[in-house]
Amino acid sequence: MIKSKNYQINSFRHLNIHLSFAYLRIGLLSACLFAYLLIGVILAQRARAQETFRTYTISPPTVSQKLDPGQTAEGTLKVINDTDHDLTFTTAVKDFIVEDTIGTPVFLPNNSLSNKYSAAAWLGVTPDTFTIKSRARQELNYFIQVPKNARPGGHYAAVLYTPATNVNVGGTGATVVTQAGSLFYITVKGPIKESATVTKFFANGFQEYGPVKILTQIKNFGDLHIRPQGYITVSDMLGRKAILPLKENNIFPQAARDYENQFGGKLMIGRFKAELLASYGVNNNLPLASAVYFWVFPWKIAVIVILVIIALILGSMYYRKNGFKKPSFGKKSDVKPSEKKTEAPETPEAK
247 lies in a domain?
yes
162 and 96 belong to one structural domain: yes
128 and 233 belong to one structural domain: no
Calpha distance 263→214 (Å, rounded): 8
181 lies in a domain?
yes
On whether the CB atoms of residues 116 and 188 are closer than 8 A, the answer is no
119 and 242 belong to one structural domain: no
188-241 pLDDT, tens digit per residue, is 999 999 999 999 999 999 999 999 999 999 999 999 999 999 999 999 999 999
335 lies in a domain?
no
In the Cβ-directed half-sphere of 320, how many Cα atoms lie within 13 Å? 6
41 lies in a domain?
yes
The total of structural domains in the chain comes to 3
87 and 113 belong to one structural domain: yes
Position 229 scores a pLDDT of 96
Confidence of residue 317 (pLDDT cuts 50, 70, 90): confident
132 and 80 belong to one structural domain: yes
What domain range is 77 assigned to? 55-188
Coil vs helix vs strand at 14: helix
- H-state helical runs in the chain: 2-52, 299-322
15 and 116 belong to one structural domain: no
200 and 231 belong to one structural domain: yes
pTM of the model: 0.69
> In the listed set 137, 169, 188, which residue is the last one of a domain according to the structure?
188
CATH code, domain with 247: 2.60.40.10
Q: With pLDDT > 90 as the criterion, what percentage of the chain qualifies?
A: 56
